[in-house]
Amino acid sequence: MTLTEPVIQAELRFRLMERYRRLDGLLLRLLAEAGANWLRTNAAVVNSLNVFPVPDGDTGTNMTLTMQSAWAEIESLPDRSLGKVAHALAHGALMGARGNSGVILSQLWRGFARSIDDNYDADAPALAQALAEARDTAYKGVVRPVEGTILTVSKDVADAAAQAVEGGADSSLEILEAAVRAADESVQRTPELLPVLKEAGVVDSGGKGLFFILEGMLRAAYRLPLDRPLVSVQPLSELALADASEAIEPGQDWEVVVDFRPQQALDVPAFYQRLETMGTSIQVGEGDGLYRMHIHVPNATEYEPIEYIRTLGTITNVHMENLMEQMAGGPKAADRSVPLAKVEQGQIAVIAVSPGPGLSRVFGSLGVAALVEGGQTMNPSTQEILGALESLPTDDILILPNNENILLTARQVAELTTKRVRVIPTTSVPQGVAAMLAHDPNGDPSQVASAMEAALPHVRTAEMTLATRSVGLDGVSVREGQTIGLLDGQLAVSGDSLEAALLAILQKADAGTAELVTVYYGADLAAAEAERLGDIIRRAWPNLEVELHEGGQPHYPLILSIE
């Protein structure tokens, strides 16, 4: 039994059995709304289960929208008849079907409704029969059904319902209980049936979505809340690891971060539960089948989480930090892995603002003397830049803000110090890199600054990200969720896939006349996928040289420098 399975008192259950003996239209309304709500609450978990890079990339969102469309159809329906409500749900799901999983979901509702026909209500055997017909209808929609998907889960649910009836179930509540249990188990088995899931270390997302719909229904029947997800799994890029310099409480001596690839689908609730016995500040992120666990643990037990995770799969990276030591003034962790240029008094030092660890390494290798973390959505404060500046042993400082939004902050810093500070107005990472290539730590400060500034127009910057809302801007119309490309800060292209938008923006940037494209891929993009996109560019423009670097920046899967 997993943590997610709802439990209630025996006495309440006894009363509910009676109430749910026959399922009518009113009860189905209640259940359908609950199913839709619970799915929406847990949509992020379902979204995180994607096997990169299958075409159907946002299963949780798609299924939620499909269920909401189904619910909208019955919201104002006055009917109490089960048949009427079921047919309205099926119609709404069909009209609002989004994505593959949404289409299958609409077929399930369609079969369910057809079986109920125009009956006013249904007893347990009729409900089991409707689930069987839902399964049959879903399977009819494809020539070669792929097992280990939502189809398999619908089959296991129908089988369990039939077994429950054979076992004497005579309330629709018992059917629902059997369905939820079967869906849960079936979802856990999906990696055994579908190798691609096993490779990615996830369970099937569509099947998990169906499980949440059924579980939401059961939770509503049990009168449990539907607005709070049991666990939250976030994309790796959004995993904002707690800043270790914040106040550390007793029992948080060590920060342990482990990246791992689970051997089997990770049972997230059980994983959390186990970690809670070890420490605090637990965060779990997932991207491309790789999980990152973050925890604070007391002294002497700092290896416990690592030992535990070793039993779950392959550990790819471990990062440990003694927080107490750090509080006492140890060096900043983020700076350690990045080789920074040593500057001496009288030389020119460069401070760069970097949005990602990979980009920090790039800047470090080019001779940057200090780095400040920051980017589009996390602008560093004047204080942070000032701190970096004052720590350098020289008085001639150049700042590369590398973002339009940080330019002003950088200029303010120049007025707050007695050191001679010049801001090179770089508004993107590629501009920052271009400027660094023109840097000479031993030159005349004003000449070096002009040389670096003169390098900026020679490089064009393309940045790819996801549209967070629909908009028409600069003659480009964008739908929420599409990939958009900005060329030198201006919205230039939109596309349904990263690949499409990438090719479009390179076209727009006249890649044919360029010599070199440098690709910095972000935290959300797997190296293999970046490699693949690089090959696509090479094929489209055979004369173009393409370089790939891990950038590690959040929110922007790709930043490109075109020269």
The distance of closest approach from Cβ of residue 114 to other proteins in the complex, given in angstroms and rounded to an integer, is 6
Query: Is residue 141 at the binding interface for other proteins, with CB under 8 A as the rule?
Result: yes
What end-to-end distance do the CA atoms of the chain give, in Å? 58
Q: Is residue 97 within 8 Å of residue 70, measured between CB atoms?
A: no
**Cα(336)–Cα(278) distance, integer angstroms:** 27
Query: Is residue 26 at the binding interface for other proteins, with CB under 8 A as the rule?
Result: no
**Cα(417)–Cα(395) distance, integer angstroms:** 10
The distance of closest approach from Cβ of residue 14 to other proteins in the complex, given in angstroms and rounded to an integer, is 38
Query: Is residue 142 at the binding interface for other proteins, with CB under 8 A as the rule?
Result: yes
Nearer to other proteins, 95 or 241 (CB): 95
The distance of closest approach from Cβ of residue 19 to other proteins in the complex, given in angstroms and rounded to an integer, is 30
Nearer to other proteins, 106 or 402 (CB): 106
The distance of closest approach from Cβ of residue 206 to other proteins in the complex, given in angstroms and rounded to an integer, is 10
For residue 298, give the amino acid letter. Answer: P
**Cα(139)–Cα(68) distance, integer angstroms:** 23
Nearer to other proteins, 54 or 454 (CB): 54
Q: Is residue 527 within 8 Å of residue 501, measured between CB atoms?
A: no
**Cα(256)–Cα(377) distance, integer angstroms:** 26
Given candidates 15, 19, 30, 54, which one binds other proteins under the rule CB under 8 A?
Answer: 54
The distance of closest approach from Cβ of residue 411 to other proteins in the complex, given in angstroms and rounded to an integer, is 44
Nearer to other proteins, 106 or 494 (CB): 106
Q: Is residue 423 within 8 Å of residue 401, measured between CB atoms?
A: yes
The distance of closest approach from Cβ of residue 546 to other proteins in the complex, given in angstroms and rounded to an integer, is 14
Nearer to other proteins, 103 or 487 (CB): 103
Structure token pair of residue 516: 């070199």
Name the one range near other proteins by CB under 8 A: 71-79, 141-149, 218-226, 268-276: 141-149
Structure token pair of residue 463: 């940045």
Q: Is residue 215 within 8 Å of residue 6, measured between CB atoms?
A: yes
Residue environment code for 390-418, b if the CB has 16+ CB neighbours within 10 A, otherwise e: eebebbbbbbbbbbeebbebbeebbeeee
Q: Give Cα separations from 389 to 327, 371, 375 (angstroms).
A: 21, 10, 18
The distance of closest approach from Cβ of residue 142 to other proteins in the complex, given in angstroms and rounded to an integer, is 5
Cβ-count burial of 376 within 10 angstroms (0-12 exposed, 13-18 middle, 19+ buried)? middle
Distance of CA 338 to the CA centre of its chain: 26
The distance of closest approach from Cβ of residue 198 to other proteins in the complex, given in angstroms and rounded to an integer, is 18
Q: How many residues bind other proteins (CB under 8 A)?
A: 33
The distance of closest approach from Cβ of residue 554 to other proteins in the complex, given in angstroms and rounded to an integer, is 26
Binding mask 192-221 for other proteins (x = CB under 8 A): ------------------------------
Nearer to other proteins, 103 or 413 (CB): 103
For residue 44, give the amino acid letter. Answer: A
Nearer to other proteins, 20 or 71 (CB): 71
The distance of closest approach from Cβ of residue 91 to other proteins in the complex, given in angstroms and rounded to an integer, is 9
Interface with other proteins in residues 76-135 (CB under 8 A): 87, 90, 94-95, 97-100, 102-104, 106-107, 110-111, 113-114
Given candidates 318, 320, 536, 548, which one binds other proteins under the rule CB under 8 A?
Answer: 536
Q: Give Cα separations from 45 to 58, 105, 170, 216, 454 (angstroms).
A: 11, 18, 34, 14, 48
What φ, ψ does residue 54 adopt, rounded to 5°?
-65, 155
Name the one range near other proteins by CB under 8 A: 124-132, 220-228, 458-466, 531-539: 531-539
Q: Give Cα separations from 297 to 252, 276, 320, 331, 407 (angstroms).
A: 5, 10, 10, 20, 39
Query: Is residue 143 at the binding interface for other proteins, with CB under 8 A as the rule?
Result: yes
Nearer to other proteins, 85 or 423 (CB): 85
Nearer to other proteins, 21 or 538 (CB): 538
The distance of closest approach from Cβ of residue 161 to other proteins in the complex, given in angstroms and rounded to an integer, is 20
- Residue keyed to tokens 């629909």: 470
Given candidates 144, 300, 329, 442, which one binds other proteins under the rule CB under 8 A?
Answer: 144
Q: Would you tell me which residues interact with other proteins (CB under 8 A)? A: 53-56, 87, 90, 94-95, 97-100, 102-104, 106-107, 110-111, 113-114, 137, 140-144, 146, 535-536, 539-540, 542
